[in-house]
Amino acid sequence: MKKITVFELKRKIDEGEHIQIVDIREQSDFGVCHIPGAVCIPKKEIFDHLNQVAREIPVVMYCRYGTKTPPVTTALEIDHGMRNIYTLEDGIYAWAKEIDRWMLDLI
Q: CA–CA separation, 70 vs 12, rounded Å?
A: 21
What pLDDT sits at residue 106? Answer: 87
pLDDT tens-place string over residues 66-107: 999 999 999 999 999 999 999 999 999 999 999 999 998 888
Q: What pLDDT digit, counting tens, does each position of 12-21 carry? A: 999 999 999 9
Map residue 105 onto helix, strand or coil. helix
- Segment 1-27 shows an average pLDDT of 97
Per-residue CA distances from 24 to 14, 29, 39, 57 (Å): 22, 10, 9, 18
Class of domain 2-105: alpha beta
Determine which helix (DSSP H) or strand (DSSP E) holds 3, and give its type and residue range.
strand 2-4
State the average pLDDT over residues 14-30: 97
Looking at residue 91, what is its pLDDT?
Answer: 98
Cα→Cα distances 14→7, 8, 77, Å: 10, 10, 27
- As a whole number of angstroms, the distance between CA 51 and CA 10 comes to 25
Query: Looking at the predicted structure, is the pLDDT value of residue 62 above 90?
Result: yes
Residue 30 reports pLDDT greater than 90: yes
Sign of CA dihedral 74, 78, 79, 85: positive
Mean pLDDT of the chain: 96
